[in-house]
Amino acid sequence: MQKKPIIVVVDGLGGGVGAQLCSKVRQTFGQRVEIVALGTNAAATEQMLKAGADRGASGENAIRVSIGLGQVILGPIGIVIPDSMLGEITQAIAQAVMGANGKKILLPVNQPHFVLAGILPAPLSKLIDEAVGLLASELADVIEK
């Protein structure tokens, strides 16, 4: 039997974006993937676990150690920008995410201290659908049907 692909979802603050990603990934792929939730804090991780993640961990060190588990990494774009998410994304977290071998699929979610030019505003649900569609394309050759 082929090993399940591991999808890592990273989020901070209240974990709302990460929870929606976990829920949509679980709804789309069922038990054919393993979802690992990595939160900058326990509240974010807890929300992602409630939304369907298989396991999770919280904090900078947990993210640095576990980010490499993922074949694909999902989250808002802020997870690769130091000091985003009200300062929850440290330089070490941003470097760990960007340095991980997994394919990154990032949602273009603006924050108070930066704006993404050239990207039309879209509802979060549409961004999540698009991200999971990209995930499906990425996993097309490795996931069990």
pLDDT digits (tens, 9 = 90+) for 68-102: 999 999 999 999 999 999 999 999 999 999 999 99
**Cβ partners under 8 Å of residue 145, min gap 6:** none
Residue 136 has pLDDT above 80, yes or no: yes
The residue behind tokens 């997994």 is 102
| pLDDT, the chain, mean | 94
- Give the whole-angstrom CA distance, residue 67 versus residue 41: 15
pTM metric for this prediction: 0.94
The structural domains of the chain, ordered by start, are: 6-139 (3.40.50)
**Cβ partners under 8 Å of residue 30, min gap 6:** none
Q: What is the pLDDT of residues 24-39, one digit of tens each?
A: 999 999 999 999 999 9
Contact 63, 40 (CB under 8 A): yes
- Which residue(s) pair with 128 in the sheet? none
Strand order through the sheet with 103-107: 55-58, 34-39, 6-11, 72-76, 103-107
- Give the whole-angstrom CA distance, residue 34 versus residue 25: 10
